[in-house]
Structure 1
Amino acid sequence: MTQRIGSAASIRRVAALATAVLATTVLSAGCGTGDASSEGTGAAPSPSADPKAALLAAVPDEKDPAFRFSTVEGGEKFDGLVDPATQGLELSMSEKSQDPEFTMGMTFRVIEEDIWVRVKITGMPGLQDMMKLPKRWMLLDRTKLDDASEVPVYQNADPANTAAVIRTAETVEDRGNGTYGGFADLTANADIRASFSTVDVDALGDAAKKVPFTAVVGPDGNLASLTLDVPAAGKQKAMKLVAKYYDFGKAPKISAPTGAEVQKAPASAYEMLNG
């Protein structure tokens, strides 16, 4: 349930590459070796005469201050920051390898057209050096990426594409206390279909046209969460897709890395991202 902010494919490739690098090193050596549910305090919003319009008005836009967000879609989880004033986006994800055991984290930072990435490997000392991956921010050249869709871009202040989902509902019910409900049509258009990386919309059949959702607007008037209850279909289990927006005005502003904290991305970074 996202705009084009990338997918977990990149981080999976990173983890796979790290495992391969480790295996090669071991063979050649001959020996082995984010609660995001904060929704503010105060009085709940009053019931609206037009619930759908009221809910859409709560979705973040370019006038909002910096805020944090998180999304959960099946086994994919992202955390990040949005700073509309700078057209800035920061997106973090991680993947854990069980054999060998280590965790790889990757954070992208985007400001307008510029993009940086930072990699952090924990649980296995020396692996990051083996992969020749700096621990600093690395400035990327998008023209050197095989598939630019694998890295984030800033599109607008609604990274989870919540407004597009809400607009597909014929009607929205105001359930009181800032809670709204309705049914989303995941087949409405190509952009909606592209918002879901782990949901087989075709397998859902007619059920995809009426997926129940619940939205919560915080006392500050901002959308706090949107949850889609996707039913089971074929081999696909039922799942909840959750987007949360929080810390409006409390999150740090996004700025370009400077000085010793940044360098141009080396060839190893493009090898990582291009798989």
Structure 2
Amino acid sequence: MTQHSRTAGLLRRVVTTTAVALVASALVVGCGGADSDPAAAPEKSAAPTPKETLLAAVPDEEDGAFRFAGRDSEATLSGLVDPAAKGMELTHSVKDAELGFTTRMTFRIVSEQVWMKVRFTGTKGLTGLPKLPERWLKLDRARLTDAASAPVWEGPDVGNTGPLIEAATTVEEQGAGKYAGTIDLTAGNAAEVLEAEETRALGASAKAVPFTAQVGPDGNLTRLTLQVPAAGKRKAYPYVVEYRDHGSAPKVTAPTGAAAQDAPKIAYEMLNG
């Protein structure tokens, strides 16, 4: 999702649903010779490749609530994901380089509904900032100029780790739960993880971008780091996604009662620029 100045496009979803099918091939091992009985031969499943193991570790709809964090060259996001509720909470903070104040914006999404909470800090001596209620502000997408930019529930893999791993051209296991390899950022849905201009600027190097990944003892992906090389005027930077606290993180629920209200006109004026 591209959020302009509201929330950065760090954790854009590139597909509505990422389906990962891991098919284990069965090897029939015979004893050889004319008297061997194929029907009685034992069957063994092929061990999953490192890439298959990583894909299986990507969050899916069966997971319990978990926390996530992510960052790229321009932004940092953190929050919660609750697949059972089709809910997530995204928090983004950005400091104004010129005036020095910080805007902390949080979106809460439950299915098709979205709420927003905004807080400004470091504003001493400043005037003109919008005065918003401190409650959760329920947004009407029809009143947003760019409704498509507002976050929606599109699946639990908010960091796009599935499309990235699917585009991996090499994956090696480097120890218990540790993996490394290269990803082709021009392939499939991985091509949409970065902005198109940035991918074009990377040129041939976009086809073999190094990455590392970590899978926890519970089989869940805990971290993926993509080392994006320098391109044009942009310096090299890490694209990082972290997932943790699977099954123990707080659930995401719709704010109710005095904790929420409909967003006032000034909230839409801020969002619509």
Q: Same fold (TM over 0.5)?
A: yes
2:6 aligned counterpart, secondary structure? helix
* Residue aligning to 1:243: 241
2:6 maps to 1:10: yes
* Residue aligning to 1:186: 185
1:196 aligned counterpart, secondary structure? coil
* Residue aligning to 1:269: 267
* Residue aligning to 1:52: 51
Segment drifting more, 103-112 vs 229-238: 229-238
* Residue aligning to 1:207: 205
- Cα RMSD (Å) of the superposition? 2.1
TM-score with structure 2 setting the length: 0.80
Segment drifting more, 85-94 vs 162-171: 162-171
Tell me by how many angstroms 1:132 deviates: 3.1
Greater Rg by CA:
2
Equivalent runs, 1:152-231 vs 2, <5 Å: 152-189=151-188, 191-197=189-195, 200-231=198-229
What is the percent sequence identity of the aligned residues?
50
* Residue aligning to 1:150: 149
Cα 1:207/1:80, change in 2 over 3 Å: same
CA distance in 2 between counterparts of 1:197 and 1:135 reads 33
2:232 maps to 1:234: yes
TM-score with structure 1 setting the length: 0.80
CA distance in 1 between counterparts of 2:51 and 2:127 reads 48
CA distance in 2 between counterparts of 1:214 and 1:240 reads 11
8 Å CA contact retained: 1:9, 1:150: no
Tell me by how many angstroms 1:236 deviates: 1.7
CA distance in 1 between counterparts of 2:75 and 2:196 reads 8
Per-residue Cα deviation, 1:161-186 (whole angstroms, up to 9, x for no partner): 10100001133211112111111111
Figure out how many residues of one structure are paired with residues of the other and give that number.
235
Of 241, 249, 252, which aligns to 2:250?
A: 252
CA distance in 1 between counterparts of 2:148 and 2:192 reads 12
5+ unaligned residues in a row in structure 1: which ranges?
Answer: 13-47
Letter in 2 for 1:265: A
* Residue aligning to 2:137: 138
2:168 aligned counterpart, secondary structure? coil
CA distance in 1 between counterparts of 2:139 and 2:127 reads 18
* Residue aligning to 1:17: none
CA distance in 2 between counterparts of 1:65 and 1:11 reads 25
Per-residue Cα deviation, 1:237-272 (whole angstroms, up to 9, x for no partner): 111111000111121000000111101011111111
5+ unaligned residues in a row in structure 2: which ranges?
Answer: 9-46
Cα 1:66/1:128, change in 2 over 3 Å: farther
